[in-house]
């Protein structure tokens, strides 16, 4: 029977607090501004941080897991320091460049290799139905799809016979399909690349690649690529390993640094993450030996670089969250200051309530309710403003943002807690007033 009485008293105290907040709408709003901007800052900052984290994870997927990337360096020469540079008289060391023989050597001699994927890339024009478009022709092995986690949207992968014979077959990217075959199924159709007609046997799933990933990681727009078996590339299009020394010398007159590498990129997938650095060192020594001591290749481990970037981003997120959290703390202090000032302004009201039979707990509840209402309403407005800010950054700043339910719950919970904690001192001060003295207060 006592519970309804307690509920009625609480409801009455809540009603009085609500009336006080409404009666002083402008002051209540100004008091809540600290909470509003604090909550909005927390949500927006965490959304930006989550967006950056998601982009890093997408980049890791694009470069593959546990991958070592080896890319050739075309420009090279050697001369003695302090002597006159005369490349015509200096004898340069010969390197055969990055070749399929290196791929076989790495696969045979280095343990712990899961898969290895060489690539030969050729700038070309794709022609079909009177339409011509520049694209990249990429010679690959079947391991390419596993290493980079590529999947087909339609059709099939290259067969073993396609690989051995160097058949004129291809798999096209999604953007190529949209460009040349907007209203028909391209499977079984033939497109022309250079002087060769290629039969389309598959279509890749679309891969979303941001401009940031393209510039930072050197990733192509996979959707505009045309993939063929690497033997088809070497037999039907270009095999730089067959270029003779005479050809290179004759090319130097028109091209200062001709590309003599047979393959343009080599991706080695390691079975264990712990073996990435040791394996990269062994690969470097093996290639240097087979290239006659000429370091005409560059080895990178994208996953480690991205994970380091991810750790840096985590620290940055914590700093941003802490800075935004300070705004909530300042907002709480503002609530306490205004509530203390409100207590001094309403001493007569407090004395009148106490003289009419209100308990000290009623006064405490009244001022706590006021403080919590200000912080909760500020929290709601802050959540809405934070989501709008995150969306605006995503749209106008061309930067991905991810607003999570956890960040909303966290910031709103902190706002309500701040109102409760910083409302206790003013509430206790109000309840400690002497009724007689309060009624006489001018």
DSSP 99: -
Residue ranges, the chain, pLDDT below 50: 1-2, 5, 81, 84-85, 87-90, 246, 250-254
Contact 252, 258 (CB under 8 A): yes
Residue matched to tokens 């919970």: 413
Of 225, 235, 237, 165, nearest to 200 by C-alpha is 225
DSSP tally for the chain: helices H, then strands E: 15, 10
What does the alpha-carbon distance between residue 166 and residue 232 come to, in Å, rounded to a whole number? 4
Of 335, 388, 252, nearest to 31 by C-alpha is 335
Per-residue pLDDT at 39: 83
User: How many other C-beta atoms are found inside a 10 Å radius of the C-beta of residue 262?
Assistant: 24
186-194 own/partner pairs: CB under 8 Å, 24+ apart: 187/154, 187/155, 189/128, 191/126, 191/127, 191/128, 191/226, 192/126, 192/127, 192/128, 193/124, 193/125, 193/126, 193/127, 193/135, 193/137, 193/226, 193/237, 194/124, 194/125, 194/137, 194/237
Per-residue pLDDT at 227: 93
User: How many other C-beta atoms are found inside a 10 Å radius of the C-beta of residue 379?
Assistant: 28
Per-residue pLDDT at 228: 92
Residue 225 CA: distances (Å) to CA of 130, 173, 275, 416? 19, 5, 31, 53
Contact 364, 427 (CB under 8 A): yes
Per-residue pLDDT at 89: 46
What does the alpha-carbon distance between residue 35 and residue 327 come to, in Å, rounded to a whole number? 7
Per-residue pLDDT at 218: 54
Per-residue pLDDT at 1: 45
What's the predicted TM-score (pTM) here?
0.58
Per-residue pLDDT at 309: 64
189-242 tens-digit pLDDT: 999 988 889 999 999 888 766 555 555 555 667 788 899 999 989 888 888 877
Contact 425, 337 (CB under 8 A): no
Full DSSP string of 305-318: HHHHHHHHHHHHHH
Per-residue pLDDT at 88: 47
Contact 102, 287 (CB under 8 A): yes
């Amino acid at each position: 029977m006592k519970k309804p009485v307690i509920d009625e008293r609480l409801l009455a105290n809540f009603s009085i607090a609500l009336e006080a907040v409404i009666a002083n709408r402008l002051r209540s709003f100004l008091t809540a501004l600290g909470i509003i901007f604090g909550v909005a800052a927390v949500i927006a900052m965490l959304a930006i941080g989550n967006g950056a984290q998601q982009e890093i994870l997408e980049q890791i997927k694009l470069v593959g897991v546990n991958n070592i990337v080896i890319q050739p360096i075309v420009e090279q020469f050697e001369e003695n320091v302090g002597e006159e540079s005369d490349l015509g008289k200096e004898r340069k060391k010969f390197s055969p460049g990055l070749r399929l023989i290196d791929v076989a050597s790495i696969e045979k001699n280095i343990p712990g290799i899961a898969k290895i994927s060489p690539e030969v890339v050729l700038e070309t024009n794709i022609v079909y139905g009177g339409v011509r478009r520049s694209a990249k022709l990429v010679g690959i092995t079947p391991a390419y799809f596993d290493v980079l986690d590529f999947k087909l949207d339609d059709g099939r992968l290259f067969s073993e016979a396609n690989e051995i014979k160097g058949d004129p077959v291809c798999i096209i990217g999604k953007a190529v399909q949209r460009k040349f075959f907007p209203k028909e199924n391209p499977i079984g159709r033939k497109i022309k690349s250079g002087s060769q007609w290629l039969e389309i046997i598959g279509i890749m799933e679309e891969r979303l690649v941001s401009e940031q990933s393209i510039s930072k990681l050197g990733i192509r727009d996979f959707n505009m690529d045309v993939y063929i078996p690497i033997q088809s590339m070497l037999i039907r299009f270009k095999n730089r390993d067959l270029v003779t020394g005479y050809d290179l010398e004759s090319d130097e007159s028109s091209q200062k640094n001709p590309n003599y590498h047979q393959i343009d990129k080599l991706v080695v997938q390691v079975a264990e993450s712990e073996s990435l650095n040791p394996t990269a060192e062994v690969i470097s020594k093996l290639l240097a030996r087979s290239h006659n001591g000429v370091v005409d290749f560059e080895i990178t481990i994208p996953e480690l670089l991205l994970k380091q970037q991810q750790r840096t981003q985590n620290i940055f997120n914590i700093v941003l969250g802490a800075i935004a959290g300070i705004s909530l703390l300042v907002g709480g202090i503002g609530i306490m200051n205004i509530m203390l000032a409100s207590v001094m302004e309403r001493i007569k009201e407090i004395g009148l309530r106490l003289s009419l039979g209100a308990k000290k707990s009623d006064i405490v509840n009244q001022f706590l309710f006021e403080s919590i209402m200000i912080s909760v309403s500020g929290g709601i407005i802050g959540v809405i403003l934070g989501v709008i800010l995150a969306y605006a950054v995503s749209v106008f700043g061309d930067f991905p943002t991810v607003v999570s339910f956890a960040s909303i719950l966290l910031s709103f919970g902190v706002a309500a807690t701040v109102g409760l904690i910083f409302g206790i001192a003013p509430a206790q001060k109000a309840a400690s007033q002497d009724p007689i003295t309060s009624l006489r207060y001018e």
